[in-house]
């Protein structure tokens, strides 16, 4: 992997908008060690965002984009919702699919990429809201998992339809009253992580985006496992501060509160046996590599 | 034969696609001016004339030439830059040639800075902001160019030229086809050749300028 494919013609470098100049000179494409710590020291793959000020989805976007192991060979598939308004500002190939269809589109895309580029690792990552993943798109979401499609599904769970003003979603908590769901939710939050496990996902995490290091770890794991074994699923709490009546600065605390041990976003993971084995092998190789590098460095010193 | 002509606008909010009005694409070795098929050399001469007559003759290079993704693209980039430099050399002081990139096609709301870039989803913003009265598209994928050319014809009075690498564009006021680096260089030669023989636009007085 390298930056070779994103070179600006030298004749036009001077007229390119500065953010494109920065992308080719200071972004972390091609850097195998890229991660959340690059934020602030390199060019991020998100330019601006069109979310409400302080929306935790913006943090989630930044951490995920910083953590993708292979951004120049990654295609993201989005769906309608607050997230979809961000994609025009993202420097990664992406497809906007019809609301709910994201996992069907991603299935075809991943298969086509495997045929078209047999020798190259191409990652497909779905990123959609809870309404798209669990309600209108549940059929497509689950069918892709049943079929063992090799891509990662990320759900930004803000527990309602935010972009259309606050309707009830399957992932909403029981009893919750939203602006356009005035009688309160009548049934429990759908247990999608458990459904994902039963539907055949190999790596599943349910958590908030309060900790960038954790997001880096789970995003990388989910992508590595999807490459080799089959579907993976991340359900990330990204509270809609607008709908729950919080200020811009309060999103982080809301996530910290929701991840306490007895709360609904307490860290939870399911890893299949083959995925456990794969991750253990990768960790061992990584350790070996680091030890070799250390030894080399000490010999050189 | 159709009576419809592809003329500078503003045509109206949703201009018809020129193809739907009966405008046909040129064959190899030809171009079109306002929808009338002409020999390529005639289109060259007219394009050069339009650049030399315009207050703000502008080239909009698109992703296919801005990014050095293969050798041919790199050669085209050199030719386009050469054309721009030639126009700059050949115009009068009151003319202001511009070279404004279209780096990609993402609908950039609300980010678009019309001073430094053009976006196919709202090209009129860049044209209005810079008062561009003649422009050439080069290195823009056809479907995006068609969209953009139609928006420009709908909402501005800009004369549009398409230096198309495929079969040409009905929706431009003047179109070439099968663009190569050599063809772009030849257009630059035409600009140089016509220098001095085309009347530049009048100098705008301060009063007229402030009246907008
Ligand atoms: C097929 C279709 N049905 C309905 C809609 C209307 N719609 C747009 S956004 C949205 C809700 C999105 O909710 P969610 O997926 O949770 O994303 P959020 O905005 O909460 O991030 C809906 C129903 C649509 N755009 N397309
Ligand atoms: S409506 Fe809610 S989820 Fe959407 S951008 Fe605003 S705070 Fe974020
Ligand atoms: Mg939602």
Average pLDDT over residues A117-125: 96
Burial status of residue A117 (CB atoms within 10 A of its CB: 0-12, 13-18, 19 or more): exposed
CA distances for A43 relative to A39, A48, A210, angstroms = 8, 12, 22
Task: Indicate if the pLDDT at residue A147 is higher than 70.
Answer: yes
Residue B69 lies in a domain: yes
Residues of B in contact with A8 (CB under 8 A): 66-68
Residue B166 lies in a domain: no
Residue from A2, A4, A6, A9 whose CB has the most chain B CBs within 10 Å, to mutate = A9
- Residue numbers in chain B where pLDDT is lower than 50: none
Residues of A in contact with B116 (CB under 8 A): 15, 17
Residue B170 lies in a domain: no
B75 → chain A, closest CA residue: A9
Residue B200 lies in a domain: no
Which residue has a Cα nearest atom 1 of ligand 2? Answer: A162
A98 versus B13: the higher-pLDDT residue is A98
Predicted confidence band at A301 (pLDDT cuts at 50, 70, 90)? low
Q: How many beta carbons lie within 10 A of that of residue A90, not counting itself?
A: 20
User: What pLDDT sits at residue B210?
Assistant: 64
Task: Indicate if the pLDDT at residue A218 is higher than 70.
Answer: yes
Predicted confidence band at A88 (pLDDT cuts at 50, 70, 90)? confident
Residue B43 lies in a domain: yes
Tokens standing for A81? 């919702």
Closest in B77, B116, B117 to A11, CB measured: B77
User: What pLDDT sits at residue B106?
Assistant: 84
Residues of A in contact with B117 (CB under 8 A): 17
A28 min Cα distance to partner chain B (Å): 18
Return all residues near B39 (Cβ < 8 A) that are at least 6 apart: B29, B30, B31
Domain that holds residue B154: 39-161+176-192
ipTM: 0.92
Residue B212 lies in a domain: no
User: What pLDDT sits at residue A1?
Assistant: 42
Q: Output the CA A155–ligand 2 centroid distance in Å.
A: 14
User: What pLDDT sits at residue A2?
Assistant: 54
Our CA angle for A262, A267, A268, nearest 5°, is 100
CB-CB under 8 Å, B99 with A16: no
Upper half-sphere CA count for residue B183 (Cβ side, 13 Å): 21
A48 → chain B, closest CA residue: B111
CA distances for A29 relative to A23, A66, A69, A219, angstroms = 9, 10, 9, 17
- pLDDT mean across residues, chain A: 95
Q: How many beta carbons lie within 10 A of that of residue A57, not counting itself?
A: 27
**pTM of the shown model:** 0.90
Task: Indicate if the pLDDT at residue A63 is higher than 90.
Answer: yes
Average pLDDT over residues A201-211: 98
User: What pLDDT sits at residue B209?
Assistant: 63
User: What pLDDT sits at residue B66?
Assistant: 97
User: What pLDDT sits at residue A268?
Assistant: 98
What is the Cα–Cα distance from A147 to A103, expressed in whole angstroms?
A: 11
Task: Indicate if the pLDDT at residue A6 is higher than 90.
Answer: no
Q: Which domains does chain A have, with CATH numbers?
A: 10-275 (3.40.50.970)
Q: Structurally, how many domains does chain B consist of?
A: 1
CB-CB under 8 Å, B73 with A9: yes
Task: Decide whether any atom of ligand 2 lies within 6 Å of the A55 Cβ.
Answer: yes
Task: Decide whether any atom of ligand 2 lies within 6 Å of the A278 Cβ.
Answer: no
Average pLDDT over residues A224-242: 98
User: What pLDDT sits at residue B175?
Assistant: 98
Residues of A in contact with B110 (CB under 8 A): 50
**CATH number of the domain encompassing residue B187:** 3.40.50
Residue B207 lies in a domain: no
Distance of CA A52 to the CA centre of its chain: 19
DSSP string, chain B: --------S---SSPPPGGGGT--PPPTTEEEETTEEEEHHHHHHHHHHHHHH-SSEEEEE-HHHHB--SHHHHHHHHHHHHHHHHHHHHS-TT---EE---------TTT--TTT---TTSHHHHHHHHT--EEEEES--HHHHHHHHHHHHHH---EEEEE-SSS--TTSSEEE-S--HHHHHHHHHHHHHHTTTSPPPPPPPHHHHHT-
Residue B24 lies in a domain: no
């Amino acid at each position: 992997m390298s930056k070779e494919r994103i070179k600006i013609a030298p004749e036009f470098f001077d007229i390119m908008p500065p953010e494109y100049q920065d992308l080719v000179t200071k972004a972390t494409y091609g850097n195998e060690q890229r991660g959340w710590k690059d934020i602030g020291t390199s060019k991020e793959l998100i330019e601006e965002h069109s979310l409400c000020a302080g929306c935790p989805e913006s943090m989630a976007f930044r951490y995920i984009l910083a953590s993708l192991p292979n951004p120049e060979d990654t295609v993201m598939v989005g769906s309608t919702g607050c997230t979809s308004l961000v994609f025009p500002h993202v420097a990664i190939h992406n497809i906007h699919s019809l609301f709910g269809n994201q996992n069907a589109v991603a299935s075809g895309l991943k298969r086509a990429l495997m045929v078209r580029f047999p020798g190259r690792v191409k990652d497909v990552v779905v990123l959609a809201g809870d309404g798209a993943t669990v309600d209108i798109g549940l059929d497509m979401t689950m069918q892709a998992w049943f079929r063992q499609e090799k891509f990662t599904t990320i759900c930004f769970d803000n527990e309602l339809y935010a972009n259309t003003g606050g309707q009830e979603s399957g992932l909403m908590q029981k009893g919750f009253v939203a602006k356009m769901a005035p009688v309160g939710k009548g049934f429990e939050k759908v247990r999608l992580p458990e459904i994902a496990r039963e539907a055949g996902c190999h790596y599943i995490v349910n958590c908030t985006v309060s900790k960038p290091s954790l997001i880096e770890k789970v995003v990388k794991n989910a992508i590595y496992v999807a490459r080799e074994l089959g579907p993976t699923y991340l359900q990330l709490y990204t509270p809609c501060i607008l709908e729950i009546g919080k200020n811009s600065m309060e999103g982080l605390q809301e996530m910290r509160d929701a991840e306490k041990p007895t709360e609904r976003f307490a860290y939870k993971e399911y890893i299949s046996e083959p995925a456990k084995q794969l991750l253990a092998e990768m960790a061992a190789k990584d350790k070996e590599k680091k030890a070799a590098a250390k030894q080399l460095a000490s010999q050189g010193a | 034969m159709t009576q419809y002509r592809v003329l500078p606008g503003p045509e109206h909010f949703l201009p018809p696609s020129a193809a739907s009005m009966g405008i046909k694409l040129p064959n190899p070795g030809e171009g079109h001016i306002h929808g009338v098929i002409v020999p390529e050399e005639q289109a060259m001469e007219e394009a050069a004339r339009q650049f030399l007559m315009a207050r703000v003759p502008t080239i909009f290079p698109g992703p296919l030439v801005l990014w050095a993704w293969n050798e041919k693209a790199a050669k085209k980039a050199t030719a386009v830059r050469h054309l721009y430099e030639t126009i700059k050399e050949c115009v009068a002081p009151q003319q202001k040639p511009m070279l404004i990139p279209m780096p990609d096609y993402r609908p950039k709301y609300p980010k678009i800075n019309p001073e430094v870039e053009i976006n196919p989803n709202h090209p009129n913003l860049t044209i209005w902001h810079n008062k561009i009265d003649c422009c050439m598209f080069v290195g823009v994928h056809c479907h995006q160019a068609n969209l953009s050319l139609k928006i420009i014809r709908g909402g501005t009075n800009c004369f549009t030229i398409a230096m198309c690498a495929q079969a040409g564009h009905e929706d431009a006021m003047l179109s070439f086809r099968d663009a190569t680096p050599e063809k772009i260089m030849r257009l630059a030669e035409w600009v140089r050749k016509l220098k001095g023989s085309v009347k530049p636009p009048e100098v705008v007085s301060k009063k007229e300028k402030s009246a907008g």
